[in-house]
Structure 1
């Protein structure tokens, strides 16, 4: 069953992330250097600040970010198994996700599957000053719907709550029908609820789910412009 043992694996990953945050930090700069964080990012907030009450937002209110590149097509930084392309925000770094082959780390492959979907691409916000990813998940099921794909995806997440689904139009001039969900998950790293959102579209080769995460709710909301850019530029390119 997909997702079995996922909570334990996420817990292990959270401990590793905590060690990284407490130790050498997230960047690769040598000691004594400093990276300027984007306004509103986790790095600029006081760790003592109390977390506000969290509820899923009905819709994003951010304007799309400036374009940095395009992913999805063959030859791009993240070629996808479904015929979809979209633009990525400036300074965000896309990377194709591959299964882990190291025997000591193979259990982390649990994190590459959620519901019926498999992770194929991660677009890292860290170079832009944020802590989080825009992730692309796909499935080869052609007899499903965007709503069904999202329901499976949400059910496979950690302690999902208060999911709100809505039908939307995405892409240039709203050319594509899609379903979007906003919901809450419990962060294993911070031991608190945070916002999550995802969007699903159908292609001739199966569904694609675009997920926006973030270390916490404030980080998630600060990264919404990149998500809105991807939504606005989604295109199904071929059969």
Structure 2
């Protein structure tokens, strides 16, 4: 039996007194993305350049080159169509590479492409072709690349935005020239995940998706690199 002077702690008080070592006190676990709905992925490797509890990630100075100073007047606010400075290029995908899409675009340093054509995921004429994993660069999220054969860019973008596990509700949209072709771009409010951004042009759709707003901002320069470097 407990003594007369014993102090009884609630479950909440015990958790606060002895926080889990894998998260900051008071912060929930993060949801981890899978490349396909229901797919299983290997456990996450230790992240690099992760902020400590109580510290904020700086906007510049990361060695992986992903987070760069913003251009004058630009922001990375979720839902806004505004661009940070593109990330430094570290590789490329396109014909003859790990992701043989009918276009060539640059990938950010340490981001890892993987062919997903074997999944044969097709919806309304839009086919998933590959993913570019941000995890080796210390960011949680994926750039997914789709192709389409018919219809205009805006329609293909709408199809991807409606795909379960990938897209989300459009919070902003614009018509834009991409690789010298007429294209469309949208900011997405993704279900149960962080914000997203996607563009479509000339048979290719590229979508950046992340686990939360911070990871979205960290990976957005890599997405902008893909959009500004693509050639057809």
For the criterion TM > 0.5, the same-fold answer is: yes
Secondary structure of the residue that 2:131 maps to in structure 1? strand
Residues 115 and 154 in structure 1, CA contact (< 8 A), matched pair in contact too: no
Distance apart, 1:138 and its partner CA: 0.6
The residue aligned with 2:168 is 160
> Which of 217, 221, 225 lines up with 1:221 in the alignment?
217
The offset of 1:154, in angstroms, is 1.3
The gaps in structure 1 that reach 5 residues or longer are: 1-8, 28-34, 48-54, 101-108, 188-192
Q: Is the 8 A contact 2:113 2:132 kept in 1?
A: yes
Match of 1:90 in 2: 109
Task: Please identify the structure whose Cα radius of gyration is greater.
Answer: 2
1:56 shift after superposition:
4.3
The 5-angstrom pairing of residues 59-208 of structure 1 reads: 59-73=81-95, 75-80=96-101, 82=102, 84-100=103-119, 112-141=121-150, 144-157=151-164, 160-171=168-179, 175-187=180-192, 194-202=194-202, 207-208=203-204
Q: 1:29-76: CA deviations, max 9, x gaps?
A: xxxxxx4523xxxx53659xxxxxxx8422133111111112112x21
CA, structure 1 residues 46+66, in 2 after alignment: closer, same or farther (shift >3 Å)? same
Structure 1 CA distance for aligned equivalents of residues 170 and 181 of structure 2? 26
Residues 185, 139 of structure 1: alpha-carbon distance in 2 compared, 3 angstrom cutoff: same
- Counterpart CA distance in 2 for 1:150 and 1:45 is 37
Instruction: Confirm or deny: 8 A CA contact 1:195 1:217 kept in the other structure.
Output: yes
Cα distance in 2, alignment partners of residues 157 and 163 from structure 1: 17
Alpha-carbon distance change, 62 to 115 in structure 1, aligned in 2, over 3 angstroms: farther
Call closer, same or farther: CA 1:162–1:211 in 2, change over 3 Å.
closer
Q: What TM-score does the superposition give when structure 2 sets the normalisation length?
A: 0.66
**SS of 2:110 mapped into structure 1:** coil
The RMSD of aligned alpha carbons is: 2.6
Higher relative contact order (CA closer than 8 Å, sequence separation 6+): 1
Per-residue CA deviation, residues 4-31 of structure 1 (Å, 9 max, x unaligned), is: xxxxx83x44xx56xx6xxxx412xxxx
Consecutive unaligned residues in structure 2, runs of 5 or more: 1-35, 55-76
Question: Residue 125 of structure 2 contacts residue 149 of structure 2 at CA under 8 Å; is this kept in 1?
Answer: no
SS of corresponding position for 1:194: coil
- Relative to 1, partners in 2 of residues 1:99 and 1:76: Cα closer, same or farther, differing over 3 Å? closer
TM-score (norm: length of structure 1): 0.65
Q: Is 2:81–2:172's contact at 8 Å kept on the other side of the alignment? A: no
Count of residue correspondences: 175
**Deviation of residue 155 (structure 1)?**
2.0
More helix by share: 1
Q: CA offsets per residue over residues 99-135 of structure 1, 9 Å max, x none?
A: 25xxxxxxxx6xx345531111111111111111111
